[in-house]
Structure 1
Amino acid sequence: MGCFPTLTLLFFGFSLCSCSKFPPRKYYYVDKKISWNDAQQYCREKYTDLATIESMDDISRLNSSFSYDWAWIGLQDDPESWKNTLGNDTNSWRWAITGETSKIDYHNWDSTQPDYYLAKETCVIMGLGGKWYDKNCGENKTFACYNGKKIFSFMDFTYSLVHFLSAAVTEQNKKNYMYISTTKNWTSAREHCIKLSMNLAVIENSEENAEVSSLKPNSDDIWIGLYRVPWTWSDKSQSSFKNWRSSSPNNPPGNQHCVVENNLHVWDDDICTIKYAFICHQVAKLRTTVKLKFVTDVDLSDSATNAQILQQLRAKLTSQGLTDFKLQWNIQPKKQENKENSET
């Protein structure tokens, strides 16, 4: 028969992914001019991180007046995630059909590409000689669709009269590509491919790249299925909130990969090594106690059992958006448990 042990679960500090809700972030203006990377390190040592701003409510909580015109916040478009590679960070290049980064790091960028010119180029074309270039997704281009339909190849073996004729069938996966001569922007091109039960071309080796290149007229730049979503927060928040000023981001020299906020609380991109003041945030820490009763024959005083339960609870809480928390059991003495049981 199951027993009814009571355990107290203690949460030591936790934060929600969307801190516009609860608990809110507290913001701190630091009147010290340093680079973006140094500001990130400072905030992580003294507070929680460089400021993540997820709403106008967050902006309203920064009450400090600025000593200088601009201050770093935690938004960055790290070129190591996308420059000359197919990385696996949030802002890396990914294929449209899966929305995921490539498991095969094949690419065929031109020597100067990608450059995120004027902070607008987040889709990819194939140009002259099969070279890849990042382009503004709103431009109209012809494009290549593909599917992964399976085909069969047959090998006939003819033997002598004492043997027989047989056929060996081998199944292979092969991408089938189709060139579309109609010009569309990247999004419309993808929608067109989907209507054909296909998707924008995925290219994962030099042979596939040569095949797609051979389908298009030499002068055509064609969309392929590679794109990315720029800008990520230092604390890995998934917020899509942005508060750019009207002309930003613009990346005129091609190396503005970090974000500053001015005293009007609008944002601009700038070179990460420039020294600015900065804004940190601190996530509120809470200590929460939750009492749990179990109907079980398992010995919950066993440390291995407790550890396993805590591991499962951590996974569940993390999947629900909770971060930066610690769990600890506080098991009540047997006398107290028995007394509670007799009262129920």
Structure 2
Amino acid sequence: MDGFMMMMMAALFFGLDLSSCSQCPARHYHYVNLQMNWTDAQQYCRDKYTDLATFESMDDISRLKVDFSYSWAWIGLWDDPKSWKTSMGNDTNSWRWSTTGETSKTGFQMWDSGQPDYKGAKETCVAMETAGVWFDTDCSQTRDFICYNVTKQNKKNYVYISQGVTWKSAQEYCRKHYTDLAMIENEEENAEANRTKPSGTTPWIGLYRVPWTWSDKSKSSFTNWNPEDKRKYGGDNRHCVMADTSHRWVNYYCSSKKPFICHQVSRMFSSTFKITTETDADLTDPAIYSQVLQQMNDLLTRQGLTDFKLRWKSPPKKTEKKD
């Protein structure tokens, strides 16, 4: 007798109004022992499974089987330069303005030659060079900065602040005393912001980004970097991520050929049924239906079912009709 029929019999016996849900783990992982570059591995995973592996927690990491005997294997994390190096982009790792937390609406950019370059995997904030061009740099550096306000004519008014602080501190100051760190959406505004600063200064503006994004567009912020990796997680054209035998991550050249890990998202489904029976037991008593659910859970487990969740659903109370 299959597990569903056993559940039905149990429901009849106990007199349940029960909603059952079978929910498999969000992802199953598959190690593929083929040598491919990151892009080809991505396509293979999308063709055969769901995508290159995404991880949202150490629980996901623990799902990797012990027989994954690779030295290195690609996973789905990368920092696509097309999202931030050649354009303003609209991806999760693209450049954003502090005042909106969103990517550029106009696409305007004024990068210096060779910028941005994400040198040392630390340069995720932007400052303005002497000639008004932009460059990415380490957010922990201390610099002067430019704030802005919006006038009644909906025009940005830029204010230079001569205080050497980190990008984050500059943001906090501007938000307290003005609108925010300078937001620049066209050439005229860039020229205006540049005119506010003294010659030779390189102040912060409001552009920043959060590097790394998952191939399947997951919003997961979980990381498991190898703290001993000397490359410091990015820069120098190492824009794709691979895992080692201990499941720690390092970034590497996307063109390198490695085995890889795919994931497959299991379908979620639910089954709801209603059984009516007579009983003296008070089925609205939490102690009683908790005991019933536990016995149901044990019964289904013995039938070999796993990764399910049972939920008690009480019927609506009937209201008496008034004469």
Considering fraction of residues, name the structure with more strand. 1
Say if 1:253 and 1:116 are closer, same or farther in 2 by CA, change over 3 A.
closer
Residue number in structure 1 paired with 2:172? 191
Report the Cα distance in structure 2 between the residues aligned to 1:253 and 1:119, rounded to whole angstroms: 5
Residue number in structure 2 paired with 1:174? 155
Residue number in structure 2 paired with 1:215? 196
- Give, in angstroms, the shift of residue 70 of structure 1: 0.7
Residue number in structure 1 paired with 2:141? 139
Report the Cα distance in structure 2 between the residues aligned to 1:276 and 1:189, rounded to whole angstroms: 43
The residue type equivalent to 2:158 in the other structure is Y
> How many pairs align?
253
Percent identical among aligned pairs is: 57
Q: Any gaps of 5 or more consecutive residues in structure 1?
A: 1-13, 16-21, 151-171, 293-344
Report the Cα distance in structure 1 between the residues aligned to 2:28 and 2:89, rounded to whole angstroms: 33
Superposition pairs of residues 278-289 of structure 1, within 5 angstroms: 278-289=260-271
Say if 1:250 and 1:198 are closer, same or farther in 2 by CA, change over 3 A.
same
Q: Any gaps of 5 or more consecutive residues in structure 2?
A: 1-21, 275-323
Say if 1:136 and 1:211 are closer, same or farther in 2 by CA, change over 3 A.
same
Residue number in structure 1 paired with 2:299? none
Is 1:235 aligned to 2:216, yes or no?
yes
Residues 113-140 of structure 1: per-residue CA shift (max 9 Å, x gap): 0001111111100012001001111111
Contact 1:29–1:64 (CA<8 Å) still a contact in 2? Answer: no
Secondary structure of 2:239's aligned partner: strand
Residue number in structure 2 paired with 1:63? 65
Superposition pairs of residues 27-106 of structure 1, within 5 angstroms: 27-106=29-108
Deviant stretches of 4+, over 6 Å: none
Residues 2-33 of structure 1: per-residue CA shift (max 9 Å, x gap): xxxxxxxxxxxx98xxxxxx633111111111
Residues 125-170 of structure 1: per-residue CA shift (max 9 Å, x gap): 00120010011111111000001121xxxxxxxxxxxxxxxxxxxx
- Give, in angstroms, the shift of residue 291 of structure 1: 7.3
Residues 271-313 of structure 1: per-residue CA shift (max 9 Å, x gap): 1110011001111224434579xxxxxxxxxxxxxxxxxxxxx
Report the Cα distance in structure 1 between the residues aligned to 2:220 and 2:234, rounded to whole angstroms: 26
Residue number in structure 1 paired with 2:244? 262
Report the Cα distance in structure 2 between the residues aligned to 1:125 and 1:65, rounded to whole angstroms: 48
Report the Cα distance in structure 2 between the residues aligned to 1:266 and 1:107, rounded to whole angstroms: 36
Report the Cα distance in structure 2 between the residues aligned to 1:261 and 1:55, rounded to whole angstroms: 15
Secondary structure of 2:107's aligned partner: coil
The residue type equivalent to 1:198 in the other structure is T
Superposition pairs of residues 105-116 of structure 1, within 5 angstroms: 105-116=107-118
Say if 1:116 and 1:253 are closer, same or farther in 2 by CA, change over 3 A.
closer
Secondary structure of 1:204's aligned partner: coil
Report the Cα distance in structure 1 between the residues aligned to 2:224 and 2:246, rounded to whole angstroms: 11
Say if 1:230 and 1:217 are closer, same or farther in 2 by CA, change over 3 A.
same
Report the Cα distance in structure 2 between the residues aligned to 1:46 and 1:198, rounded to whole angstroms: 49
TM-score normalised over the length of structure 2: 0.74
Report the Cα distance in structure 2 between the residues aligned to 1:228 and 1:291, rounded to whole angstroms: 49
- Give, in angstroms, the shift of residue 103 of structure 1: 0.7
- Give, in angstroms, the shift of residue 210 of structure 1: 1.3
The residue type equivalent to 2:125 in the other structure is C
TM-score normalised over the length of structure 1: 0.70
Contact 2:127–2:204 (CA<8 Å) still a contact in 1? Answer: yes
The residue type equivalent to 1:185 in the other structure is T
Contact 2:145–2:161 (CA<8 Å) still a contact in 1? Answer: yes
Report the Cα distance in structure 1 between the residues aligned to 2:189 and 2:130, rounded to whole angstroms: 15
